[in-house]
Amino acid sequence: MENIILIGHGSPRKEANNIELIGKLLHNSIHPECSNNCVRVAYLQFAAPDISEAIKECIQNGARRIIVHPFFLTSGMHVTKDIPEMIEDAKGIYPDVEFIYTEPLGTHEKLIEIVKDRIKSAGNSAPEEIEKRSFQILSEEIDLSNVQAEHLPVIKRVIHATADFEFRKTLVFHPDAIKTGIDAIRSGKDILTDVEMVKAGINKRLLEKWGGKVICKIPSASGGTKDIRQKAESRTRAERGIESGLKENNNIGIIAIGNAPTALLKVIEIFNNSKSEISNLKSQILVIGVPVGFVKAFESKALLSKQSFPFITNLSRKGGTSVAVAIINALLKMAGEDK
């Protein structure tokens, strides 16, 4: 068995002794499916474990080959004298174990790229600069050249919010989705959400500029009469909230479902019910349906993707609050641009 030991200098400041994270990242990179503790860390001073302790732990773990890497930038006395002497001592104690000592980080072309990145990000501490830089990195790492222009701001903001490039392929748009959403915002229409978390994430400042507001009618788990509770036993709170919101508010322009598949299924049911008053207005309402989960989540989104009214969804199990909020906020920014 082979083990790796990363050696840091160590510091009296406890929070500075943090190469454990580097060890975990290295382990996940070279042994992604491994559950053994085969990458360990050690410190020269001020922190535990020290090098001899780490070597002992590796051998007790069954290691017969130990790679020692000095996590140092240059070949100073620690790298050229202190650590090699400790390894020689270990060889005398454990003659049957093979020890390999690597060079330090040293002068490497990839370190130059890291320095350049640190310099570039040093002036990007303001939130708007961080966001700008994030979108630059995003654009550098994925080819979005074939994305329809009006869909691009939505897709980019969803990927930015989730760090998940898969949404490039799974997001699905009705032909009238973007226009319907922007028209609703500019007309001062309200946004109905399935849960409070989606409501909280929407940029109220950009929405209120047009006169709209965000509404969430999810009922209290303990509220209502016995008769109401009995009727609602087969329906989720989010489902009841969506139904209530559509009945009580005739100014809904966007419905955003980020968590509850049952709420999305209820919207589709209401929109396709010819006896429902709102069914006559469904072509003027954008339904954003991106619930996350394993039960009914994909099925509800697949059903939405077949509807004739405007929608935005994603054909996978993924989704959630962050995706719904990202889509809404992208539309709000687009609405604020010149017509």
Let me know: does 69 contact 6? Beta carbons within 8 Å. yes
Q: So what CATH class is 145-335?
A: alpha beta
- The domain spans of the chain are 2-101, 115-141, 145-335
What is the predicted pLDDT for the residue at 126?
64
Residues with a known catalytic role:
160
Domain 2-101 sits in CATH 3.20.20.140:
no
Query: Exposure string (b/e) for 56-73, b if CB count within 10 Å is 16 or more?
Result: ebbbeeebeebbbbbbbe
Q: Say if 2-101 and 145-335 have the same CATH topology.
A: yes
What is the predicted pLDDT for the residue at 226?
41
- Answering whether pTM is above 0.75, one says no
Let me know: does 326 contact 320? Beta carbons within 8 Å. no
| Per-residue model confidence as pLDDT tens for the chain (339 residues) | 899 999 999 988 888 888 998 999 999 998 888 888 899 999 999 999 999 999 999 999 899 999 999 999 988 999 999 999 999 999 999 999 999 999 999 888 888 888 887 777 676 566 667 677 777 778 888 888 888 999 999 999 999 999 899 999 999 999 999 999 999 999 999 999 999 999 999 999 999 999 999 999 887 554 443 433 434 445 788 889 999 999 999 999 999 999 999 999 999 999 999 888 888 889 999 999 999 999 999 999 999 999 999 999 999 999 999 999 999 999 999 999 865
